[in-house]
Amino acid sequence: MTEDVRVYVEEAPGQRREIVGPTDMGLSLMELLKANEYDIQATCGGMALCGTCHIEVLAGPALDEPSDDELAMLESLPVMSQGSRLSCQIRLTERLDGLVLRLMPQTT
């Protein structure tokens, strides 16, 4: 049986869009966001090298700690918050159900 995970994207303060993704395909959160037509460049293809999939986790379940590579990329970005993560480094699992996030602005 396929378990779906529900993630909420805050598009504006107080305005959240629910997106649903399968947990049995090995997808990343970035791939789910792109499949739902969010404007994520992902120029490095999900290798934690470009930072164009930067999100801020606002609420929801605790995530695994970021890897050293992810932390290094986040620390190089012009804007970083306590909840900053790279969506390419977060796998869709049942544990993500209820996660609330917002896309961080791209500053190039």
Q: Where are the domains of the chain?
A: 4-103
* Beta bridge pairs of residue 55: 85, 103
- What token pair was written down for 84? 């900053």
Predicted confidence band at 107 (pLDDT cuts at 50, 70, 90)? low
The answer, yes or no, to whether residue 105 has pLDDT greater than 90, is no
Hey, how many other C-beta atoms are within 10 angstroms of the C-beta on 49?
14
Summarised one tens digit per residue, pLDDT across range 70-104 is 999 999 999 999 999 999 999 999 999 999 999 99
- Quote the percentage of the chain above a pLDDT of 70: 96
Q: How far apart are CA 45 and CA 25, in angstroms?
A: 17
CATH classification code of 4-103? 3.10.20.30
For the entire predicted model, the pTM comes to: 0.93
- What token pair was written down for 29? 């959160």
Residue whose structure tokens are 């791209």: 106
